[in-house]
Amino acid sequence: MNGNLNPLQLDAMREVGNIGAGHAATVLSQLLDKRVLMSVPEVSILPLAEACDVVGGAEQPMVGVYLRVFGGAPSKILYLFPEDNALFVANLLINDPEKCRNILGELEISALKEIGNILTGAYVYAFSNFTGIDMFSSVPALAFDMVGAILNTVLSDLGEMGDYAVIIETKLTACDESIDGHFFLVPDHGSLSTILEALGVKNGCQKQSGSECPKS
C-alpha cells in the first residue's frame, strides 16, 4: 500500500476517527464532569518526512502521547497537542486551583498520561471494533519536546522516512476552549492494507451486499 488513499478510503478512515473521537469525548466528559466535544475535521496520509509540517514545523514544542499497537494490524500511535493546550487539559483533571501550575511537573504529566490513555485507547478501540481486527495496545508513554525530536524518538524503529502515517486531525472542545490535536496512526508494513480490507475499501470501492470489489 503506497501513500495514496482515494476519497472513499479517506472517508472510511474519517468515519472510524469520528467514532474514536466520540468515544473519547464520552469518557472524558465522565472523567472531568464537564461537557466535552470532539470531532475529526480532516484525515490525510503523508510521508513521515512531511509530518512535522502538519503541526507547525520540526521546532514546534508539543506534548506527545504514544503507544504500540499489537494484534492483527500492528502499528504505532502518536497523539500530539500544543503545550498550552496540554496544560489546560491537565488542569481540568487536577481541578484544584492551588495545585494548578503553568509547568509540566509530575502532577501534570500524570494527568496527561491518564487523559492520553483515554484518547489513544478510544482510537484503538474504534479501529478494532469497527474492523473486527484484534488490536491491543501497550501502556502509553508521554514526551514533551520539539515535534522533530518526538517523531525521531517515537518512530525511529520504522526504518526509512519513506514510511507513511495516517494523520487524523482532531478538535476537542471543553469549557469553551478549543484544542487542536493530531492523531498519527503509523501502520507496520502491510497493516494499512489489512485495515482498509477490513473496512471494505482496500481497492477503492465499498463492498455491497451481493457484489465484490475487483481483485488486485
Q: pLDDT tens across 12-31, in order? A: 888 888 888 888 889 888 88
Mean pLDDT to the nearest integer, 105-128: 85
Contacts of 181 (CB under 8 A, 6+ apart): 79, 80, 81, 85, 119, 169, 170, 171, 172
Q: List phi, psi (to 5°) of 114.
A: -65, -45
**Residue 92 CA: distances (Å) to CA of 45, 127, 168, 175:** 32, 28, 24, 9
How do 164-174 and 141-146 pair as beta strands?
unpaired
pLDDT band of 98, cuts 50, 70, 90: low
- pLDDT, tens only, 165-206: 888 888 888 888 888 888 888 888 888 888 888 888 765 544
CATH 3.40.1550.10 matches 7-199: yes
Residue 216: what residue type?
A: S
pLDDT at 70 over 90: yes
- pLDDT, tens only, 136-163: 888 888 888 898 888 887 766 544 444 7
Question: What pLDDT is attached to residue 135?
Answer: 92
Residue in the structure block whose three cell numbers are 469553551: 176
Question: What pLDDT is attached to residue 156?
Answer: 65
Contacts of 16 (CB under 8 A, 6+ apart): 126, 127, 130, 131, 199
Average per-residue pLDDT for the chain: 80
> What is the distance between the alpha carbons of residues 91 and 95, in angstroms, rounded to a whole number?
6
pLDDT at 63 over 80: yes
Instruction: Please tell me the pTM assigned to this model.
Output: 0.80
